[in-house]
């Protein structure tokens, strides 16, 4: 009898939030009475999609132990790494005795607290029988320019351009192999790019535009607005 397929979440949460420039890492900024990271984890937990959630936090992170969710039975702590890809790989390694090679892993940025259960289930429902996996993405509405030294060299064909969001969903062992193979390569800014370098063609699934990544100070107010709208 084959083992029923499981879904795991991996949450990279070991960044310092340089562009946010806030005095503490952005995953610990407050949003409506809870930290950004608590929102993100509570939404993943509430989706009831996951057998467990591996969270990569810095070794010297003094905020994490104070969060009640840190002791939740479904949460597994992992060490953060130098780059986002290193943190993801570390979290995958923390799952090595739990996840089977063919289990699905959904990697989701800690800094995207507005993720909805509907988008998680859309991604899973669309790709669970896929060979490779794929990502939530958004079409680009603006006209996009190829620019060099302040001058426009040309206009990109927007019909082929999508913005990569998270979660990004891949098979456990395939993702781990791809990240290990390309460790230290600065071109690996998301999970899909690691699979692309392996010659794979991950799928895109159109996600919701309110699944923003908190990157700059103004994004916090925007996340707050979207959360109110979602209620
Ligand atoms: N991240 C991580 N480990 C790193 C770098 C980033 O786990 N070494 C995580 C961040 O905590 C965040 C997600 O990856 O949840 C997306 O990265 P980004 O938005 O770039 O966050 P930061 O790296 O913290 O921000 P910045 O680049 O502005 O410093
Ligand atoms: Mg970063």
For 2, which DSSP code? P
Q: What does the alpha-carbon distance between residue 172 and residue 161 come to, in Å, rounded to a whole number? A: 27
| Ligand at shortest distance from the CA of 214 | 1
In the reported structure, the alpha carbon of residue 16 is separated from the centroid of ligand 2 by a whole-number distance in angstroms of 7
User: Going by CA atoms, what residue is nearest to atom 23 of ligand 1?
Assistant: 15
| Ligand at shortest distance from the CA of 213 | 1
- Whole-number pLDDT of residue 105: 98
Is the pTM for the entire model greater than 0.95? yes
Q: What is the mean pLDDT of residues 91-114?
A: 98
| Ligand at shortest distance from the CA of 20 | 1
| Ligand at shortest distance from the CA of 81 | 1
- Whole-number pLDDT of residue 81: 98
| Per-residue CA distances from 160 to 135, 157, 197, 206 (Å) | 15, 6, 19, 13
Q: At 30, is the secondary structure helix, strand, or coil?
A: strand
Provide the residue ranges of all domains of the chain, joining segments of one domain with +: 7-230
Assess whether the C-beta atom of 107 lies below 6 angstroms from ligand 1.
no
- Whole-number pLDDT of residue 3: 76
Q: pLDDT for 13-47, tens place per residue?
A: 999 999 999 999 999 999 999 999 999 999 999 99
Name the residue of 13, 14, 15 whose CB sits within 8 Å of the most ligand 1 atoms, as the mutation to test its pocket. 15
User: Contacts for 187-195 with beta carbons within 8 Å, 24 or more apart?
Assistant: 188/83, 188/85, 189/84, 189/85, 190/135, 190/164, 190/166, 191/88, 191/107, 191/135, 192/134, 192/135, 192/164, 192/168, 194/85, 195/132, 195/133, 195/170
Name the residue of 29, 79, 84, 189 whose CB sits within 8 Å of the most ligand 1 atoms, as the mutation to test its pocket. 84
Q: Is residue 143 predicted with pLDDT exceeding 90?
A: yes
In sign, the C-alpha dihedral spanning 34, 10, 45, 223 is positive
Check: CB of residue 6 under 8 Å from CB of residue 104: yes
Assess whether the C-beta atom of 58 lies below 6 angstroms from ligand 1.
no
Q: How would residue 180 be classed by pLDDT, with cut points 50, 70 and 90?
A: very high
Q: How would residue 1 be classed by pLDDT, with cut points 50, 70 and 90?
A: low
Query: Residue 176: phi, psi to the nearest 5?
Result: -60, -45
Structure tokens at 230: 């979602």
Q: Is residue 173 predicted with pLDDT exceeding 80?
A: yes
- Whole-number pLDDT of residue 213: 98
Q: What is the mean pLDDT of residues 130-159?
A: 96
In the reported structure, the alpha carbon of residue 179 is separated from the centroid of ligand 2 by a whole-number distance in angstroms of 17
Q: What are 7's strand-pairing partners?
A: 104
Assess whether the C-beta atom of 134 lies below 6 angstroms from ligand 1.
no
Q: Is residue 2 predicted with pLDDT exceeding 90?
A: no
Q: What does the alpha-carbon distance between residue 217 and residue 205 come to, in Å, rounded to a whole number? A: 28
Check: CB of residue 174 under 8 Å from CB of residue 16: no
Q: pLDDT for 186-217, tens place per residue?
A: 999 999 999 999 999 999 999 999 999 999 99
Q: How would residue 95 be classed by pLDDT, with cut points 50, 70 and 90?
A: very high
In the reported structure, the alpha carbon of residue 147 is separated from the centroid of ligand 1 by a whole-number distance in angstroms of 26
In words, the CATH class of domain 7-230 is alpha beta
Q: In this structure, what is the dihedral angle of CA atoms 209, 165, 120, 214, given to the nearest 10 degrees?
A: -70
**Mean pLDDT of the chain, nearest integer:** 97
Atom of ligand 1 nearest to the CA of 20: 28
Q: Is residue 157 predicted with pLDDT exceeding 80?
A: yes
């Amino acid at each position: 009898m084959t083992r029923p397929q499981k879904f795991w979440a991996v949450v990279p949460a070991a960044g310092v939030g340089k562009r946010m420039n806030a005095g503490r890492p952005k995953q610990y900024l407050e949003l409506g009475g809870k930290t950004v990271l608590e929102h993100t984890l509570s939404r993943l937990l509430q989706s009831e999609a996951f057998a467990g959630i591996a969270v990569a936090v810095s070794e010297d992170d003094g905020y994490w132990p104070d969060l009640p969710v840190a002791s939740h039975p479904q949460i597994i702590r992992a060490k953060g790494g130098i780059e986002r890809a290193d943190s993801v790989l570390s979290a995958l390694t923390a799952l090595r005795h739990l996840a089977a090679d063919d289990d699905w892993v959904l990697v989701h940025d800690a800094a995207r607290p507005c993720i909805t259960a509907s988008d998680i289930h859309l991604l899973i429902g669309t790709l669970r029988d896929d060979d490779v996996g794929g990502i939530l993405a958004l079409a680009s509405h603006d006209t996009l320019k190829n620019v060099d030294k302040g001058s426009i060299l040309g206009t990109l064909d927007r019909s082929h351009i999508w913005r990569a969001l998270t979660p990004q969903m891949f098979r456990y062992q395939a993702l781990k192999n791809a990240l290990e193979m390309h460790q230290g390569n600065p071109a690996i800014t998301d999970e899909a790019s690691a699979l692309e370098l392996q010659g794979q063609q991950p799928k895109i699934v159109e996600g919701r535009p309110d699944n923003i990544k908190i990157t700059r100070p103004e994004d916090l107010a925007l996340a707050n607005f979207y959360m109110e709208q979602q209620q």
